[in-house]
Chain A
Amino acid sequence: MSTHLNPMQPQQTDSASPTGTARIGLTDKPQTRSTYRADGKLIPFLLDSAEQSWITHDLCKLLTRRNHSSILCHVDELASTTEAQIFEHLARQGASGYEYRLLPVTSPQLIKRLRLSHVVLLVPANLDAICLAYQRIKLLAEETTPEIGIVMVGPRDQHAAWRYFRKLAVGTLRYLDIPLLNLGFLPNQITPQCGPADHHRDNFLTRISERLLRSEFHTGNLEVYRKSG
């Protein structure tokens, strides 16, 4: 079961709409709804490095296998384009009837620009990476704070995963007042070389996907708003 370290309610973010439909705002108000409208839930992942993309790839396949049709949407290449072009790209893919769209991103600045309401951070289990993840969360929280879920990658065991998660979560709570959601871990025995049929790998990824679904850790139906004029 997914756990918030902080028993308090998650912070209210600007991106949550009154209807429960997540909203991505581009710039300051006033905004008008654009012609882009895409059904499907968006799960953004902030990767520590591009080498972690196998994790989102496998999660996408696993969700599809479990009758939640999913697709990977890559926008890193569009980082130099305008937000509108990125949203148009996302909206176009969302129109293809997929239930979930997984969005692996390596740039925290891009996540910040898109002002997404939920972000999953894939964090390697070492002190340097924990510190880097903290800095990235600090960056994301400079404007609107998204709900942040953590997947620890590469700890020795569950105990080590918890210790690293706790270090990060206590730090973000103490200094940034941001609670983190523990979405699970992938132990160091799980690598891309394990192969997709590896039961061990499958089990850990299944647990992460279940936590994502159970905690409804996604942006909801994507509505894209654009500045008027």
Chain B
Amino acid sequence: MKSSVTSSDPGDLEELRTLLINSAEKLAGPGAFILKPGLPGDGSPILMHNAEHQPVVISFDPGNGETALINGLRAVERLTATRPEPQPARLVVVSQTLLPASTTILANCSRLQLYVVRRQEINDTTRLWLDRVQTDTPDESAAEQPLPEDRPTLAKSSIDADSLPALSEEEASYFRQL
């Protein structure tokens, strides 16, 4: 069987977003799930929750790591202002290019992770390679933590009911009780 492997650029922002969303557990740990695929603001970083229900912001820019970092920091700041969490969000920055002075930045920011992204086409299937930029200091976030006992219920609907068609009297009466 003949197989073909080719490397390519990570593509445009939206394609990279989709690939990163599908790599949620690689970036935010097992049990991570997407809370918002795009936060408001430049670059629309992705908001995830890890298994411990702690926020993780994924900021990315295929060609410019500095832009991704700045966009991510802004998103974390906005998030902290609007949704006070017990702990500030963890920030993951993904780019094709390595940030200048990345080891110094990492050494000074314990809640920051940097990844260099590469895309490969293997037999017509797109695969995303994420290489984590490491420092010499141990990564506290990688330590396993027990799952919380309490299981929060899903949040109430955020749908704007005003934009939906009104119910007739008969329909409203039907849905009044189970």
Interface residues of A (CB under 8 A from B): 48-54, 57-58, 60-61, 69, 71-74, 76-78, 89, 92-93, 96-98, 104, 106, 108-109, 124, 127-132, 134-136, 138-139, 142, 153-154, 163-164, 167, 171, 174-175, 188-189, 191-197
Question: In terms of DSSP, what is the predominant structure of the interface of chain A?
Answer: helix
Is B164 touching A135 in the complex (CB atoms < 8 A)?
yes
> With a CB–CB cut-off of 8 A, which chain A residues contact B90?
none
A sample of 21 cross-chain residue pairs with beta-carbon separation below 8 angstroms, ordered by A number, consists of A49-B156, A50-B36, A53-B35, A54-B33, A57-B21, A57-B24, A72-B18, A72-B22, A89-B14, A97-B124, A97-B125, A97-B126, A138-B165, A153-B154, A163-B178, A171-B171, A175-B170, A192-B33, A193-B53, A193-B152, A194-B31
What is the CA–CA distance of A72 and B30 in the complex, to the nearest angstrom?
A: 18
- In residues 156-172 of chain B, which contact A (Cβ within 8 Å)? 156-159, 161, 163-165, 167-168, 170-171
B153 at the interface (CB under 8 A from A): yes
Chain B residues within an 8 Å CB radius of A167: 175, 178
- Assess whether B25 is interfacial by the CB under 8 Å rule: yes
Which residues of B are at the interface with A, using a C-beta cutoff of 8 A? Answer: 14-15, 17-19, 21-22, 24-25, 30-31, 33-38, 44, 49, 51, 53, 124-126, 147-148, 151-159, 161, 163-165, 167-168, 170-171, 174-178
Instruction: Tell me if A192 and B31 are in contact (CB < 8 A).
Output: yes
How many angstroms between the C-alpha atoms of A58 and B18 in the bound complex?
14
Q: Is the CB of B154 within 8 A of A49?
A: yes
List, in ascending order, chain A residues with CB within 8 A of B171's CB.
134, 171, 175
User: A127-B178, A171-B175, A193-B151 known; A106 and B51 CB under 8 Å?
Assistant: no
Nearest 6 A/B pairs, CB to CB: A54-B33, A74-B37, A135-B164, A77-B38, A97-B124, A131-B175
Q: How far is the CB of A209 from chain B (nearest CB, A)?
A: 16
Cα separation A70 to B50 with both chains bound (whole Å)? 22
Please report the C-alpha to C-alpha distance between residue A155 and residue B153 in the assembled complex, in whole angstroms. 11
Task: Chain B residues near A136: list those with CB within 8 A.
Answer: 159, 164
Q: Is the CB of A196 within 8 A of B156?
A: no
Rounded to whole angstroms, the CA-CA distance of A60 and B25 in the bound complex is 13
| Contacting residues, chain B, for A163 (C-beta < 8 A) | 178
